[in-house]
Amino acid sequence: MSLPLRDMARSGLLLTAFAVAGALLVGLIWQATAERIAENARQAVLRQIDELVPPDARDNDPYHDMVEIADWRLDPRGPTPVYRAFLDGEPVAALYAATAPNGYGGPIRLLVAVCPNGVLIGVRVVSHRETPGLGDYIDRARSDWIDQFDGRSLDAPPEYFWRPRREGGAFDHATGATITARAVVDAVHHVLDYHRARGSRLLFPDGPRMGQP
């Protein structure tokens, strides 16, 4: 019995050695790339903040004026970063980095810019895994679909119409890709809902309230 036992030990050692070597390689590469990857993600968010609230419409750095909010309406999986933009001390916008959990290809990460009074400035898709060529029309690089949110609010259109046109709602969508549109529309609606219920007061305790634009 001693021979097979020794064989087993040698096989085990060999496997361990390769696992350690593999982990070491991945660890080293991770260390070399982690900073760049985080920077890439940061740049992507910064670019979209600039698109939604241009630098001349604010005088603070929203990226660093960030509050984390945990609410299932914004992201069922964890806290949502919310960036705040101010001009001359007056609140300009809250940018919710909300997530639509029910996209066709998985969660769709959004950046939803809302005025303190609850009017939408605009929405951008930060990352998604929708079907290329079919569900990726939500990406502004692909189509201007996402622009139809500009200027909307909880009352425009009324609650019932916050759904894709196919279901009787007010929002266009690409044929055959309703799930994608529904996920984004729902997520944006959730943000507005949260913003009216709590967000506006929480983020801008000194700013204008809902209903007093």
Partner 1 sequence: MTQPSYSTITRDGLWYNNPATVQLLGLCPLLAVTGTAVNGLGLGLATLLVLVLSNVTVSLIRDWVRPEIRIPIFIVVIASFVTAVELIMDAWFHDLHKILGIFIPLIVTNCAILARAESFASRNSVPRAFADGLAMGLGFAAVLVLLGAFRELLGHGTLFQQADLMFGPAFADLQLTLFERQGMLAAILPPGAFIGLGLLIAAMNVINQRRERRRRAEAAVQPAEQAGA
Binding residues for partner 1, rule: CB under 8 A, are 7, 10-11, 14-15, 18-19, 21-23, 25-26, 29-30, 33, 36-37, 40, 44, 127, 129, 131-134, 176
**Which lies closer to partner 1 via its Cβ, residue 8 or residue 57?**
8
To the nearest whole angstrom, how small is the minimum distance from the Cβ of residue 126 to partner 1? 10
CB 75 within 8 A of CB 101: yes
To the nearest whole angstrom, how small is the minimum distance from the Cβ of residue 133 to partner 1? 3
CB 112 within 8 A of CB 102: no
User: Would you mind telling me the total number of residues written for the chain in this entry?
Assistant: 213
Query: Nearest-CA neighbor of 87 among 55, 113, 117?
Result: 55
Q: Which residues contact 52 (CB under 8 A, 6 or more apart)?
A: 93, 95, 111, 113, 121, 122, 124
To the nearest whole angstrom, how small is the minimum distance from the Cβ of residue 45 to partner 1? 12
**Which lies closer to partner 1 via its Cβ, residue 133 or residue 213?**
133
- How crowded is the C-beta side of 132, counted as CA atoms within 13 Å? 0
The secondary structure of 179-199 as a DSSP string is HHHHHHHHHHHHHHHHIIIII
Prior bond of 157 cis (ω within 30°): yes
To the nearest whole angstrom, how small is the minimum distance from the Cβ of residue 18 to partner 1? 5
To the nearest whole angstrom, how small is the minimum distance from the Cβ of residue 10 to partner 1? 7
**Which lies closer to partner 1 via its Cβ, residue 4 or residue 211?**
4
To the nearest whole angstrom, how small is the minimum distance from the Cβ of residue 188 to partner 1? 21
**Which lies closer to partner 1 via its Cβ, residue 23 or residue 156?**
23
**Which lies closer to partner 1 via its Cβ, residue 17 or residue 57?**
17
Between the CA of residue 81 and those of 70, 98, 151, 165, 204, what are the distances in Å? 9, 8, 22, 30, 15
**Which lies closer to partner 1 via its Cβ, residue 55 or residue 133?**
133
